[in-house]
Homo-oligomer: A and B are copies of this chain.
Amino acid sequence: MRQTQDILKAAKEATASLSLLTTEKKNQALAAMADALCASRERILAANRQDVEAARASLGEVMIDRLTLTDARIEGMAEGIRALIDLPDPVGRVIDSHRREDGLLIEKIGVPMGVVAIIYESRPNVTSDAAALALKSGNVCVLRGGKEAYRSASAIVTAMKEGLVRVGLNENLIQLVEDTTRESATALMEAVGYVDLLIPRGGAGLIRTCVERARVPVIQTGTGICHVYVDASADLDMALSIIENAKTSRPSVCNACEVCLVHRDIADAFLPRLDERLASARAAEGKIPVVFRCDETALSLMPHGTPAGAEDFDTEFLDYILALRVVDSVDEAVSHIAAHSTGHSEAIISRDEQAIARFVGAVDSAAVYVNASTRFTDGGEFGLGCEMGISTQKLHARGPMGLCELTTYKYVIRGEGHIR
């Protein structure tokens, strides 16, 4: 097994060759990586079957599904890589430029971070997405996936490296950490001078550990306790449709709605309809009905409501569960969100421009929606291609992280002997 420290050294050495590649060369590499993935389908599926077999004893059905690859999923991974080819290259973009009166030209230019490390769990497509995003943004990636998916990740990385070599590039531009114990994660967190950016993707525990222990720059991703606030002025049909979408279209993802706040003035009219739509009607259609965890007022208006415990307003359910609270004003909704949100995505459903302005101005989350579902918080939906995760912190990047968010900048200043 290669030592993690050796992998980090190889990654750092490879940065110089990558940062100066032309856009054309990087795009050739992406195409070759995608082709190689498809050509290696059998090898990848075989490795994945071994992972799935080994994991059956310890993982639940949802996790097994996340881990499992199919022909279609491998094709999807290749398409995800190819989608980056047409996106603008963030490296070398002129972010700002001004010439001083004395003639000195000051330009702010997008440049790669250097080495980007990603600690993630069992989804194999993260391996290809992360490698492709890193390559196009000029970064060497160090991938440290979960042990359940190691064989799959290794087969995927082998294929992508074959793609790199085919276009004459250094296979060290993509690095897979071979040690999947806790030690290797710790080594990445402490790799000062080797890791320019660490992105943990996974459960709250992993992310907390990274934030607490890392000595290298980290971007927190993912946890989403997302709120939908239904204002007194809301179009109630629109509110029903948005909440159903935000809650039930894919409950296991971070941009799903977990908490609904309803203005007292429309609670009588709205909540029984919400109960009907998300519980009775879904049950009648053979869909999974939503379970409601209600504060006292909401409970009295929701036939299928159950009483909320205090922790229900601080829980990322990732399930068909919705916490409900009745509030007296947009300000009370804003305060509730400030106290309970993870800073991911929140929505207001309203026809009152003042209430909308108040909500949009005061809610301090990565994405604030007006009359739309929180489910749009996604790199693909935002036009960024695939994404490296959704940042819930404020430093550097917020919301979906695409190519630009994986770069930094430098100032290039050109003079003709200018002195100060």
Contact = CB atoms under 8 A, between A and B. Distances in A.
Interface of A: 16, 19-20, 98, 100, 104, 106, 111, 113-114, 196-197, 211-212, 215, 217, 219, 235, 238, 241-242, 244-246, 249, 338, 360-362, 364-373, 375-377, 381-383, 393-396, 398-399, 408-420
B20 A417 contact: no
29 contacts: A16-B338, A19-B362, A20-B361, A104-B372, A113-B395, A114-B364, A211-B215, A238-B416, A238-B417, A241-B419, A244-B419, A365-B410, A367-B410, A367-B411, A367-B412, A368-B410, A369-B415, A370-B412, A371-B414, A372-B418, A372-B419, A373-B419, A375-B419, A375-B420, A381-B420, A396-B396, A398-B410, A398-B411, A399-B410
Identical chains in the assembly: 2
Contact of A416 (B19, B244, B371, B417): B371
A174 to B, nearest CB: 20
Contacts of A197: 394-395
In this complex, the member of A104, A393, A411 whose beta carbon has the largest number of chain B beta carbons within 10 angstroms is: A411
Nearest to A243: B419
A409 B398 contact: yes
A89 B111 CA distance: 26
Contacts of A244: 419
A412 B347 CA distance: 10
Given A215-B211, A241-B417, A396-B396, A410 B372 contact: no
